[in-house]
A and B are shown apart, each in its own frame.
Chain A
Amino acid sequence: MSTKKSIQEEVEKTLNSLEGIQRASANPYLFTLIKARLESEERGFWSRALTYLSRPSVAVPAIVLTILINTAIFFELKSDKVPPPQDEEQAFAREYNLSDTTIYESTIEPE
């Protein structure tokens, strides 16, 4: 019984141990750290944008995405089966020997 009573007393004393507690004061350098951090937050838009883009979590996916888009476009162009019109013209000219005209081959007869 006395043990129980003494435990109750101890519990009460412990619960009241924060009576009269004073506010803790921070490290004096904390203010300097906060000031430096706020000043860095004040930098201009482009500076912040570059800082953001240079983060690995942003830069790496951006590079991967660029490579993927370039690869997709490359394969898209390669798989295009219709030759461009210029190639058709050159093929026609070659077939009928119209491609090369030199001064020796041209036979313009004076009127």
Chain B
Amino acid sequence: MVYNTALGILQNAEDAEDVTQEVFVQVFESIKTFKAESKLSTWLYRITVSKALDHLRRKKRKKRFAYIQSLFGAGGETIIEKPDFNHPGVALDNKERSAMLFRAIDRLPENQKIAFTLHKVEGLSYQEISDVMRTSVSSVESLMHRAKNNLKKLLQDHYQSKE
């Protein structure tokens, strides 16, 4: 559950393993503060999403810094474009399409990415997603609607450029 969620958000197995470790350490340290106001699974999802987003932001900062360094000829590492992500749980005949979809998901704003990933990859209901994200069901519906519209636009642009 933790690993699968982290994998869906980060789209990288090594990063997902790192985040999974951090989540379990966090749970170990703060289990005493768990007040059972929500389900344990909801709490776990919240920590996983939070850690995954922190990881993503750290990576983006490093990438931005490396880009600035390269502008000044600091001769850092070459920025390699991320390879296509293949989720191991996707059926073989959908691999190529799902890789394209994950690439588009990666470009969504954070909240839309989280809502879409929790719904499509983890199979959570809108109610469960609203508990995890501490928001209302209608907000989740709105996020999903906007996520789908943005994804359609990105995929349309991709297919049109291929024509």
Binding site for B on A (CB under 8 A): 3, 7-8, 10-11, 13-15, 17-27, 30, 33-34, 37-38, 41
Contacts and interface: CB of A to CB of B under 8 A. Distances in A.
Given A24-B87, A24-B88, A41-B29, A10 B159 contact: yes
**Chain B: interface residue count, which band?**
20 to 34
A43 to B, nearest CB: 13
Given A15-B101, A27-B13, 6 more contacts: A17-B97, A17-B100, A24-B7, A24-B89, A26-B3, A38-B24
B90 A17 contact: yes
A7 B163 contact: yes
B35 interface: no
Q: Is the interface of A mostly helix, strand, loop or mixed?
A: helix
Contacts of A26: 3, 16-17, 20
B3 A18 contact: no
Contacts of B156: 7-8, 11
A38 B89 contact: no
B98 A7 contact: no
Contacts of A8: 156
A23 B1 contact: yes
17 contacts: A10-B159, A11-B159, A14-B100, A15-B101, A15-B152, A18-B98, A23-B89, A25-B88, A26-B3, A27-B17, A30-B3, A30-B17, A30-B20, A33-B17, A34-B20, A38-B28, A41-B25
